[in-house]
Amino acid sequence: MKKRSCLIFAVFVLASPLCFGAVRGHKSMYAAGTLATLTKGEVGRLQTSATALVFSPDKGGSAVSIPYNEITAMDYGEHVGRRVGSTIALGVTTLGVMALPMLLSKKKRHYLTIYLNSDPKVAAIERERLAKDPKGVAKGDVAAFEINKHDYADLISVLQAKTGVAAQIEQTAR
């Protein structure tokens, strides 16, 4: 009985990271985009400064700075999903006792996509074009970040104030 209890406890400890999202604390992750200096899946801190949005990778890479005057558009969206993988792992180890509550829980990931152009004059023209045509498609480079649940609202508010560009909010069913 003691060995079985230890085994179940060990499985809980090892499986617990599966229950959380990709970014925790005040971290963010570069999810995808056309920035050559960042690699997909790189984790770091996404912060605002007086003149730019700065992503500082944790693994010793150089910080990437996106000046506010180069940002042409922003999109924000939440992606909600069930914890199916964690439920299966927990159901197998606990003989299904704890699996049902885990299946009923949801994970929510917050994504911020930034469209930018490295030439500030072209970026200004692009911002004006998108302001006149809200259904227009932004041109130039793109960077998509997964933002943690603690910082996304403040970060979007600051970016909207500093850039003068309203973030397009994607509505998701919950």
pLDDT tens-place string over residues 72-99: 888 888 766 555 555 566 555 665 666 5
* 10 Cβ contact list (under 8 Å, min separation 6): none
Q: In the numeric block, which tokens belong to residue 72?
A: 């042409």
The answer to whether residue 53 sits within a structural domain is yes
pLDDT in tens, 121-149: 888 888 888 888 878 888 888 988 888 88
The answer to whether residue 96 sits within a structural domain is no
Q: In the numeric block, which tokens belong to residue 91?
A: 């159901």
- What's 74's domain CATH number? 2.30.29.30
Q: Kindly indicate the confidence band of residue 67, based on its pLDDT and cuts at 50, 70 and 90.
A: very high
The answer to whether residue 119 sits within a structural domain is yes
Instruction: Tell me the C-alpha distance between 167 and 160, whole Å.
Output: 7
By percentage, how much of the chain surpasses pLDDT 90?
Answer: 2
What are the distances in angstroms from CA 99 to CA 16, 20, 48, 154?
A: 13, 16, 40, 35
The answer to whether residue 117 sits within a structural domain is yes
Min mean pLDDT across 8-12, 60-64, 81-85 is at 8-12
| Domain range enclosing 154 | 22-81+107-169
The answer to whether residue 64 sits within a structural domain is yes
How many distinct structural domains can be found in the chain?
1
Question: Edge-to-edge strands of the sheet including 141-147?
Answer: 64-67, 52-57, 42-48, 28-33, 141-147, 106-116, 71-82, 167-169
The answer to whether residue 90 sits within a structural domain is no
